[in-house]
Structure 1
């Protein structure tokens, strides 16, 4: 009997010790409700994202309670011991935002060509007798910038030349440039903002004359976009009637800088008796600029498309060239979907920025969490030092651990952001392939 009792005691000690060992697994469980003595902070990003919420994390943070907790710690803590205690108390709950990041699965449905609303409407119309294509080219100073080693203006000119050279024979083309005089300095602003000129008058495409027109200007000034759109209305003012279709393409790398209202001008042009459709191709435009230019395109009844490289610009013009060639057979379907895809892309980019953006002035859900955690950890480290719980050298080592945690959070942010952009690109590429398959099937049944 006594021997059995001894065996039972030994067995119990083994079980308790085993449980104790399990509890010391780094990052194995959230510190909330755990044992502060045995808690080990994670050293890898996966563990860090799972080990919160801490005892005083999030809305539970209270500086007086934090000071009380830290005051109860023994003196002479090592940097690792101090770090473990701080993470136990202040590790944020990353679960909700990480779940949002992982659940970001973009998908775009292009529908069937035969069943699309735009396609069914277009089938009721006869092909136009004449299609007028008016191109507005931004010649502001920023177009002198480079993309992948090449000047943006040169890339734009090449893409435009190729685009107009492949338009259907019944098409007529005009070229208007804006911001091409003066300079982008404040003293030349008025001169530049007053500069918008039709350098190739509306008519049939002539390769040598059009090429000569493209060579008559260089990027130099401000961006009078509103004036250029109003000028396009003057260029097309005689082009009216049901059998005439007017399409405007604006190629720009930035927003209005001359105080005009391009949204108002695009809307007026679209709703005028010439009923022009205003499309915008944004070339190497930042997110804020894209949103502004998208509004201009929407007001003009057209679409906003974005290009980051010269190759992107060529591809966009090729698509628009096809759209004009297929006018009123597939354009409604293609343009409608491209418009919606670009709108969807902008919305998804905004969502990615909302989740994982790094702009300190705008912030993001993930940044808000790790930045709050980092600030509180640094403050707690200073409190430990002021309370005499750690010496100067330990304080430096502790802050190093806190900064390393921040580095890993930022690395995760950047990697996940790139991953989400890849997911979005793949979803839109898949949608675009499906759209082109539908168009091909409709044109070649």
Structure 2
């Protein structure tokens, strides 16, 4: 029986599926899936399948091959037309109705993969993409702040004010992404509305006497997606004050609206640095919280601006809250936190945003703690946040593999019930589907365990470094608050 070349679309006329002439549904499904029909046997229900002498040749994206070994599956560049988020049951059934009768079993399996097979070559890179921000940079920034404290130590009055819930001469800057993506719906409410509510709750809880700044970026854009307009050139200071009052705050929040602009994160950091510098003489500590859901598309060098800020005499780390971003965007914005010694927190729903903001603003009340203890607590939060991010991505990938198995099994059942394949082929294809799932699932479980172990190992290494620094700089007869905090944290981070 004649075998047809890979990546060719053939116009097949079959009595059971043909509508008219050479407008073959088989041709259409091949163009969609990239399946290779290697052998077409005689139909049991109609006249023999006839192959036209003229073949229509067209390059198409390859579908996954009928592999069952993990090494081959991970190297296969193909992807099914209705895999993942593209799954559409009715269209899959339509495509299966168009499937020729009598394909060899491996060709039939590949046909199913051409519709529903995932590209694991791309998906499994998720474990390499989740990384902790630089823990050593976090510690460096806090040690620099400690040096400033030594030069200008807290007075007894200031220490008492901290414990009483009031902290003078501190600044916190919120940089809020208000570009077009923040106008999108998330759980029945626009992202920008979630931010307003969370920001209001968080600022209410900030200790009295703290200078609070809120700067928005992502203003009105140009006439189309290719024209950023003024959005890459301007940011807006919405609020700046020490005494939090509801009327003034509410008026500021009415100006915080999603615009049709781009997001110049680097420019926002640069302008925010000026906000902090304007009160530098009165400022004891400075911190920045960036809330965004995308990357800088205005070429304003956010990483460079973040590094310059942390290395300046302001010593301000940037804590980044990624709000509803995808993994690729998260990897880019997390580098801003890494460059400045800040934290990176990934948030996927609105309810957790308030908690995330409260977590990063809590630092204001910890300014009288030794820097090693503060670095220990911050590193533990970073470890847990990164671990949660890894777990979230792993669960998503596990769901993808399980959905693929279920969809392939249903498709195999369907073509068997439609008498497209024999029972022996149906059973063998079912075994291949199970083998594919077991191999992939086993691989991703190992990768997850390996990545989680690496995160923990890197974090524990930093804990050891901080402990050595503590032992080096603190006399043995002083209370070992670091050891106490370490015991508490290690117990919580099992």
User: What TM-score comes out, normalization by structure 1 length?
Assistant: 0.55
Unmatched 5+ stretches in structure 1: 1-53, 60-77, 84-100, 102-116, 361-365, 375-390, 425-430, 440-445
Partner in structure 1 of residue 332 of structure 2: 292
Pair 1:402 & 2:432 matched: yes
> How far off its partner does 1:319 sit?
2.1
Counterpart secondary structure, 1:337: helix
Pair 1:191 & 2:221 matched: no
What is the CA deviation profile of residues 97-119 of structure 1, one whole-angstrom value per residue up to 9, with x for unaligned ones? xxxx9xxxxxxxxxxxxxxx97x
Distance (whole Å) between structure 2 residues aligned to residue 184 and residue 309 of structure 1: 31
Distance (whole Å) between structure 2 residues aligned to residue 404 and residue 410 of structure 1: 10
Partner in structure 2 of residue 10 of structure 1: none
Counterpart secondary structure, 2:354: helix
Pair 1:137 & 2:176 matched: yes
Tell me, yes or no, if the aligned pair for 1:180 and 1:218 is still in contact at 8 Å: no
What is the CA deviation profile of residues 169-201 of structure 1, one whole-angstrom value per residue up to 9, with x for unaligned ones? 110111100003226942441322223111113
Distance (whole Å) between structure 2 residues aligned to residue 393 and residue 157 of structure 1: 61
Counterpart secondary structure, 2:173: strand
Counterpart secondary structure, 1:186: coil
> How far off its partner does 1:346 sit?
3.0
Counterpart secondary structure, 1:173: strand
> How far off its partner does 1:267 sit?
1.1
Listed as ranges, the matches of 1:93-104 within 5 Å are: none
1:311 and 1:437, CA in 2 relative to 1: closer, same or farther beyond 3 A?
farther
Partner in structure 2 of residue 14 of structure 1: none
Tell me, yes or no, if the aligned pair for 1:202 and 1:235 is still in contact at 8 Å: no
Q: How many residues align?
A: 304
> How far off its partner does 1:404 sit?
4.8
Partner in structure 1 of residue 263 of structure 2: 223
Counterpart secondary structure, 1:291: helix
Distance (whole Å) between structure 2 residues aligned to residue 214 and residue 332 of structure 1: 37
Distance (whole Å) between structure 2 residues aligned to residue 420 and residue 261 of structure 1: 33
Distance (whole Å) between structure 1 residues aligned to residue 70 and residue 452 of structure 2: 33
Listed as ranges, the matches of 1:40-439 within 5 Å are: 125-126=153-154, 129-182=168-221, 185-220=224-259, 221-241=261-281, 244-329=284-369, 333-334=373-374, 336-343=376-383, 345-346=385-386, 357=397, 393=422, 396-397=425-426, 398-406=428-436
Tell me, yes or no, if the aligned pair for 1:134 and 1:173 is still in contact at 8 Å: yes
Distance (whole Å) between structure 2 residues aligned to residue 343 and residue 164 of structure 1: 25
Distance (whole Å) between structure 2 residues aligned to residue 436 and residue 314 of structure 1: 27
Distance (whole Å) between structure 2 residues aligned to residue 183 and residue 238 of structure 1: 32
- Which aligned segments of 4 or more residues in structure 1 are displaced greater than 4 angstroms? 56-59, 120-125, 347-360, 407-424, 434-439
Distance (whole Å) between structure 2 residues aligned to residue 320 and residue 57 of structure 1: 42
Distance (whole Å) between structure 1 residues aligned to residue 71 and residue 322 of structure 2: 41
> How far off its partner does 1:263 sit?
0.6
Tell me, yes or no, if the aligned pair for 2:178 and 2:219 is still in contact at 8 Å: yes
User: What TM-score comes out, normalization by structure 2 length?
Assistant: 0.50
What is the CA deviation profile of residues 132-177 of structure 1, one whole-angstrom value per residue up to 9, with x for unaligned ones? 1111100011112233322211111111111111211110111100
What is the CA deviation profile of residues 270-292 of structure 1, one whole-angstrom value per residue up to 9, with x for unaligned ones? 22233322221121222222222
Unmatched 5+ stretches in structure 2: 1-67, 73-103, 110-126, 128-141, 159-166, 409-419, 455-462, 464-483, 490-494
Partner in structure 2 of residue 51 of structure 1: none
Distance (whole Å) between structure 2 residues aligned to residue 395 and residue 290 of structure 1: 47
Tell me, yes or no, if the aligned pair for 1:302 and 1:339 is still in contact at 8 Å: no
Which shifted more, 122-131 or 310-319? 122-131
Distance (whole Å) between structure 1 residues aligned to residue 488 and residue 176 of structure 2: 32
Distance (whole Å) between structure 1 residues aligned to residue 212 and residue 388 of structure 2: 35
Distance (whole Å) between structure 1 residues aligned to residue 347 and residue 434 of structure 2: 37
Tell me, yes or no, if the aligned pair for 2:310 and 2:316 is still in contact at 8 Å: yes
- Name the larger-Rg structure: 1
Tell me, yes or no, if the aligned pair for 1:270 and 1:276 is still in contact at 8 Å: yes
Counterpart secondary structure, 2:195: helix
